[in-house]
Amino acid sequence: MNYNEAMIIYHGSKVLVERPITKGSNPENDYGPSFYMTLEVEAAKSWACRENSIGIVNKYLVDNRAFKNLKILDLTDKSQYSILNWMAILMHFRKLDVSFKKNNEIVLKWLEQYYIDVNEYDVVIGYRADDSYFRFPIRFISNDLAFEDLESVYLSGNLGIQYAFMSKRAIGLLKFEGFIECDPSFLGHHYSIVKMATKEFDELLNRPRDPNKTYILDLMRK
């Protein structure tokens, strides 16, 4: 990232958001209550139109010189973090089925060692666990999906990378620059993602187990 230039970032929504806050966010989102954005305007348009109605994309300008001074947790940096760190955070915030938690109690407890307290950061950069793709982490926890396959699903970039602005300090850097109207063609975009996820999920789960791949119980034994 070039910190000498301004960064443009987007938030897909049903409404105009000139003054972003974190309190209105769902506490069960991927990284908890935060203001979620993306650098990809097409991804923001898709998010804005996911409920079968045309939304808008709020556009913000961020001074990169100030941004670099924030405390940033970049979960996409594979030199520092594993997808297991992302998984631990995801399982901490997402609402899990009671039976799933009971059946996988030992595994979820083991995964806690990879948890990072996102509340200590101004910004979290990470993968997006769209609801249609949340089944992949769930089946990984259940030992049905290999670690390598889980990585490939999220590293493919189909869902994009999201920026979660956690603190007032971070949100204070956002300068509202107006909004972009979404084209009606984006109304069906979310459903195409769901269809793609279903196809990919079925293909992975129907493959014979590869003895050369690593499952979560293998990781636990190590």
Of residues 153, 148, 137, the one with CA closest to residue 209: 148
User: Tokens representing 32?
Assistant: 């908890």
Tokens 């079925």 found at: 202
Residues 202, 222: Cα–Cα separation, whole Å: 29
pLDDT tens string, the chain, 222 residues long: the values are: 444 578 999 999 989 999 998 766 678 888 998 999 999 998 888 888 877 778 899 999 999 999 999 999 999 998 999 999 999 999 999 999 999 999 999 999 999 999 999 999 999 999 887 776 788 899 999 999 999 988 887 776 566 789 999 999 999 999 999 999 888 777 766 666 667 767 777 787 788 888 999 999 999 998
Of residues 43, 38, 44, 45, the one with CA closest to residue 7: 38
Residue 41 backbone zone (phi > 0: left; psi -120 to 50: alpha; other: beta): alpha
